[in-house]
Amino acid sequence: MTLDRWLSRLPIDTPSPLMKQIPTVLGFVVALALTFVPGVVRVSLPPYILAAVIVVVVATIAAVVVPWNRLHPGWTVAVPVLSLLGIGLLRLGTGGSASPFVVLTLIPFVIIASEPGRRNIAIAALTTLVVLFAPLFVDNAPTTPGDVVRALFSPLIYLIVAMVVNELAHRMRTQLTAASAAAQEREELLQQAVRAQDELVLNEARLKTANRLISSIWNAVTEQSVIGTDLDGIIDVWNPGSEKMLGLTEQQVLTARRSVTDFYLPSELEDRLRDMDARFTTVASADSFSALVDTVRAGSADIRDWTYVRADGKHVPVQVAATPRLDENGHRIGFIFVATDMTQAREFARLKDEFVGLISHELRTPLSSILGYLELMRDDDESPLSEEQLQYLGVAERNAHRLLRLVGDLLFTAQVESGRFPIEIRDVELRSVVIASVETSTPVAANAGVTLRSDVPDEPVELRGDALRLGQAVDNLVSNAVKFTPSGGTVTVSLRREGDEAIVAVTDTGIGIPAVELSRLSQRFFRASTATRNAVPGVGLGLTITKAIITAHGGRLEIASEEGVGTSISLRLPVSTPEAVAEALPGAGATL
């Protein structure tokens, strides 16, 4: 073991009483050895030398065996005090005032003075005073004035030295504590830096792996268009799927700072703005973008059918999911539009519509025949049926009528999708249409425990349209409202005129519809999640038919709902522009 390594193991910063005692013992042993050399030191009183040895040995043993760590730190000064008294006895035995070993007092004196606390200054000075004054009382030699002056002046000097040593030791301890704290802090900072470096390397590796994964996924998304924009609709994200779907590269789009509305069909944006109660002769860019993100700004994702316009002018039917784009703090910094090409899906839907229309048309004839024969059986006077048979016949007839209505709805929706269904436009008094719908649904509402109210004006509300189709639209809304309202609820049907529009509003206190599903209510066969959870019967065609009828009359459908509170659906029909009615649905077979 080298000297440096040995010294590094010694508690130099906080030495024990034994460590402090070793210099004193070494000096005392050397002095004691000199007393045995003839002619070097005059031994005047051997008993005092023996007593000095005993005191120093006791002090050294105490430094070893006493558990100083269990005692108050101030008691450790007892060891150097005993040693200083032992040196005083050695001085008395080797000539008193003339002893050459007075210099040994400096070692325990400095140890006492350097201990923490100002009281140790007094202890060092008083103990040294005892050692220096003792020869004046023990020696038989006459005392000179010089001896008295030395005996008084030396303790004063020792007192001053004790003060200086104590202050220097105090400052050294303070600096040592600060240095130790700084070293410990540096060590902790170094360890933290090492850990941070390790975490940084690990995170960097994870980030590179994640970036490679994201890049691979991003480049693999070629069947969906993913477009990212800022808050104003300027495109800053353009994936390979967008390039494939719209015919422009990422560099072409980002360099030109294109707006996302540039790739939408303007007429669809205008229709959406009209649905939002915004009427414009020409649509500004900012307003067009609002048509895309109005629902998203309100806090909901928006899934809607649109038509993209490619760079070569071709139209691509798509379904677009618009969602907010957030930063690391959750603040909205833009929008994301994920579009799926619906060309094949639309073709499949067209074929399905043709099939549904064909099957529906073929089913109407046998169903009508079944109903005819059921009626003949019920009205046969020559072979009357029993009450039980009539009851069974009634069940069959009701279900046949229900099936015939369903077939009619399917056939109607197929005609709507193909762009051709018959309407007969003539003068219609809308007030009577609404009253008739309320009267038709009143028994059903009463059986369901729902209060059905009507609020119609006394004066007539006239317009041009198909009374049968308009009655069908109002019937659908009222029957839906009654069906989706629990027992004890209320359904209110109102009619009013605002400017050049007639408004039929059906409001209920039913189960409501989630906000994210409102935009899909007019899709065929779509049913709200609240209807599914509450097991409300239906196939999801009522609102599809209603919207088609209202659109054919140049009007529009407005829906407001809150889950658990209720739903309000309004039909807005024009009353002053009959020309728009015949032209509202291209290809509709209108009979004037």
Could you read off the pLDDT of 175-224 as tens digits, one per residue? 888 888 888 888 888 898 888 888 888 888 888 888 788 777 777 777 88
222 touches 241 (CB < 8 A): yes
124 touches 109 (CB < 8 A): yes
Q: Is a pLDDT exceeding 70 seen at residue 5?
A: no
- CATH code of 346-418, in short, is 1.10.287
Q: What pLDDT score was predicted for residue 66? A: 87
**If residue 427 lies in a helix (H) or strand (E), which one and from where to where?**
strand 426-429
Measured between alpha carbons, how far is 563 from 66 in angstroms, rounded to an integer? 82
The band of 228, judged by pLDDT with boundaries at 50, 70 and 90, is very high
Q: Which of 48-62, 195-209, 485-499, 503-517 has the lowest mean pLDDT?
A: 503-517
The pLDDT of 1-8, averaged and rounded, is 47
Q: What pLDDT score was predicted for residue 163? A: 82
Q: Tell me the CATH number of domain 222-341, given options 3.40.50.970, 3.30.420.10, 3.30.450.20, 3.40.50.880.
A: 3.30.450.20
| 422-591 carries CATH number 3.40.50.2300 | no
Q: What pLDDT score was predicted for residue 440? A: 82
The torsion angle over the Cα atoms of residues 461, 466, 471 and 472, rounded to 10 degrees, is -150
Measured between alpha carbons, how far is 430 from 421 in angstroms, rounded to an integer? 21
**Stretch(es) of the chain classified as CATH 1.10.287:** 346-418
Q: What pLDDT score was predicted for residue 364? A: 62
Q: What pLDDT score was predicted for residue 285? A: 45
The pLDDT of 554-583, averaged and rounded, is 75
Measured between alpha carbons, how far is 325 from 231 in angstroms, rounded to an integer? 9
The token pair that represents 46 in the structure block? 């051997």
**Stretch(es) of the chain classified as CATH 3.30.450.20:** 222-341
Half-sphere exposure of 221 (CA within 13 A, CB side): 16
Q: What pLDDT score was predicted for residue 278? A: 43
Q: What pLDDT score was predicted for residue 324? A: 92
The band of 236, judged by pLDDT with boundaries at 50, 70 and 90, is very high
Measured between alpha carbons, how far is 124 from 98 in angstroms, rounded to an integer? 22
Q: What pLDDT score was predicted for residue 220? A: 72
293 touches 279 (CB < 8 A): no
The pLDDT of 111-128, averaged and rounded, is 81
- Tell me, rounded to whole angstroms, the distance of Cα 313 from its chain centroid: 42
DSSP classification of residue 264: B
- Please name the amino acid found at residue 459: E
pLDDT above 90 as % of the chain:
9
Measured between alpha carbons, how far is 486 from 510 in angstroms, rounded to an integer? 6
**Stretch(es) of the chain classified as CATH 3.30.565.10:** 422-591
Q: How confident is the prediction for the chain on average, in pLDDT?
A: 78
Q: Give the predicted TM-score (pTM) of the model.
A: 0.41
Q: pLDDT higher for 363 or 273?
A: 273
